[in-house]
Structure 1
Amino acid sequence: MLPRRDAGISVPAMDGVLKPNSRLEDAPCILKVAGLDDVAPVASGLVLSAGSSLVAFPVPSGGGDAETISTFEGTIGFLAVLDDGRYAVGVTGQGVYLGLPGDFRLIEFAAELSACMTAATQAADGRLAICIGSRRNTASEWKRDLMEKGRSGCLCLLDLDTGSTDIVAEDLAFPYGVAALADGRLAVAESWRHRIVAIDTASGKRAVLLEDLPAYPSRLSPALDGGYWLTLFAPRRQLFEFVLREDGFRNEMLKTVDPEEWVGPSLSASTRYDHPLQQGAVRQMGILKPWAPSSSYGLVVRCDENMRPVESLHSRADGALHGMTGICETKDGVFAVARGAGKLVRFTGNSAGRAAIEVQS
């Protein structure tokens, strides 16, 4: 009597380790820049991507202001720091820039690979593992890719010396995050399948590490005491699942409705007066309830070495830190990017599975 798995519209409840709280919302904002998207640690502090710019930001304890250190001709799709200290910057429509500010060299990519680069990390063999979210849509068209049930993403390995590229996994549903596992495999976040999979770069074999997430996963980053930090950029909702199931309605919506009006997840809450309110379930008497089924949400999860969630930090429906897309941990704390708000926040984690929000004076 129960619906088949591919026909149901139920969404996993946020409960247990994922029980909603306000810990992410309460984290202090230490930087606000329009277009913030990714973050990585460097010797002098942090480097961030914002639109077409690289921004250097000394850790708060060191003082100093954010400074633009490089500007590219296209939007930055990913940012990674290599073991030797060089930067790897994926620029939409071009390829991968390697080097340091003022001394980059470009490794060009084919158009179908460079249009939607989403994340990268250095693999165990020294090559750069790059997630290509889609080979049909650009990175800015991520919502279209979801509504088209996109499965054209892939995982590439780039040889940093020769510039050759090997595709080791195809038919991925918008891979948006990648991290190296202890056994040499790569953990990849498949957004539209709301799961994390381990991919063997030699054989291409896949194993599911974490599945049925209540939100769409994005970037991964190692935690200092073992395990991984995971950002999730938008929530799953029953209404969205229903639209994805109803092909006729969805295809008509894609053809005739402005993308800004599509029923689907968002990186930030809408401030438009005509935004659909789902018959009062989102806003009642002018008040946005924290438990409302909003189109945007803020969620960061810490997983153990086996990719099992052990703690979470939330910015609920009535919060402002939505659309989490970047995260890294240093000795100075955990730094997370809320792309929907253009903010960088800091909190501290511990091995007990809790995050104590740092109170700044």
Structure 2
Amino acid sequence: MPVLDGPFLPNQKLELAPVLCEVDEVDNLVALGADLFASRGSELLRLRPASSGPERVTGFDAPISAMAGLGEALAIGLDREGIVVRNGRFDGKVVKPRGDVLQCPTAIAWLDESTLAVCNGSKRLGAFDWRRALMTHDNSGSIVLVDLAKDKVSILTTGLGWPAGVVATAGRVIVSECLRHRILAVTFPDGKSLELIAGLPGYPARLTRSAAGGVWLCFYSVRNQLVEFILREDEYRTRMVNELPEEHWMAPSLRSGHSFKEPMQGSQLKQMGILKPYSVTRSYGLVACCDANMTPIGSFHSRADGTRHGVVAAVECGGALYVASRGSNAVLEIRDPMAVLSE
């Protein structure tokens, strides 16, 4: 199992980042011009620097599970409800799930002003069930192309282990495959896949473009040896999933340390009241910066003894990198992120 080293060498840069605002259960982040939007459950929020808090823009009948912006248009994925578009040429457009397609939208990218690439995490699970997908070896995810002008939905590729992030490039999309710890490039329309990065030390989540021409790569959490062992023990894992509440599974998490019932390894125990930063951990905060070829060049961390865990989204807006930490229910602000990355 890969260790955190090289461009993933641990630091405290995420833990020390200023808080823009607190948002309970924050999930998606997207920038439209100078405006920064986030999601909280079924609510779309506008975040304003130096304001008193998030401003509610609108709400939906289902939780928001994915968002992407292009110009003034905002494409919004709804858990088990498909895709809706707000503003722009296709304002008000609704694309409902087609069978088991588009019922689990986990990430969206605009290919052009009328075409979307959508990650469908699973055929049978909801858009927030990545832990259940991991512990049940669910590899039924797919990449779906949505033509808004023709109201056409087509599958680009299938058999993915929870595709969680996507960005578009010329003639292909770059996809993070969470359960297999890798990044793929998928060409269209033929759907051929090329592995760009393999053996990542964590569970990759959403992808967004950086102002420097690369890509920001978020991670739900990092891998550890006990979880890797449990994933090979089918009888134990099946009983754990069927008999225990999900928050008590020995599985990666967006947050930890909030209940004495949580599973832990010996190194997670506090010694003299102190939890070591290098302890084995279920939750972790990690955002990596990759260059245009998807080679990692640096990263921001919140370690085992920190709180800014469960990074589910990151986006640049107005010269700053904004990071959604689900573990701490906060949106963090890192001004001039490339300079901070090189410190």
Deviation at 1:184, TM superposition (A): 2.4
Distance 1:203 1:67 in 2: 42
Deviation at 1:242, TM superposition (A): 0.1
SS at match of 2:68: strand
Change in Cα spacing, 1:57 to 1:125, as seen in structure 2 (3 Å) is closer
Deviation at 1:35, TM superposition (A): 1.6
> Which residue pairs with 2:185 in the alignment?
198
Unaligned ranges ≥5, structure 2? none
Pairing of 1:1-361 with structure 2 (within 5 A): 11-58=1-48, 60=49, 65-83=53-71, 85-100=72-87, 104-110=92-98, 112-124=100-112, 126-181=114-169, 183-349=170-336, 354=341
Deviation at 1:115, TM superposition (A): 3.5
Report if aligned partners of 1:36, 1:337 keep a CA contact under 8 Å in 2: yes
Q: Percent same amino acid at aligned positions?
A: 35
Report if aligned partners of 1:311, 1:353 keep a CA contact under 8 Å in 2: no
Deviation at 1:281, TM superposition (A): 4.0
Deviation at 1:255, TM superposition (A): 2.3
SS at match of 1:312: strand
Deviation at 1:88, TM superposition (A): 0.7
Change in Cα spacing, 1:258 to 1:65, as seen in structure 2 (3 Å) is closer
Paired positions, count: 341
Residue deviations 1:22-71, cap 9 Å, x none? 0011110101111210111113420111110000123x27x574210010
Unaligned ranges ≥5, structure 1? 1-10, 357-361
Change in Cα spacing, 1:157 to 1:86, as seen in structure 2 (3 Å) is same
Amino acid corresponding to residue 66 of structure 2 in structure 1? F
Distance 2:102 2:192 in 1: 24
Distance 1:187 1:328 in 2: 16
> Which residue pairs with 1:4 in the alignment?
none
Residue deviations 1:102-130, cap 9 Å, x none? x6332211352343210001115841000
Report if aligned partners of 2:102, 2:144 keep a CA contact under 8 Å in 1: no
TM-score w.r.t. length of structure 1: 0.89
Report if aligned partners of 2:32, 2:70 keep a CA contact under 8 Å in 1: no
SS at match of 1:248: helix
Distance 2:298 2:80 in 1: 37
Distance 1:158 1:40 in 2: 20
Deviation at 1:154, TM superposition (A): 0.2
Residue deviations 1:151-192, cap 9 Å, x none? 0000001011122111001000000000112x3210000000
TM-score w.r.t. length of structure 2: 0.94
Amino acid corresponding to residue 156 of structure 2 in structure 1? V
Deviates more, 1:227-236 or 1:276-285: 276-285
Deviates more, 1:206-215 or 1:330-339: 330-339
Distance 1:213 1:245 in 2: 18
Distance 2:130 2:206 in 1: 15
Distance 1:305 1:44 in 2: 24
CA RMSD of aligned residues (A): 1.9
Deviation at 1:227, TM superposition (A): 0.7
SS at match of 2:266: coil
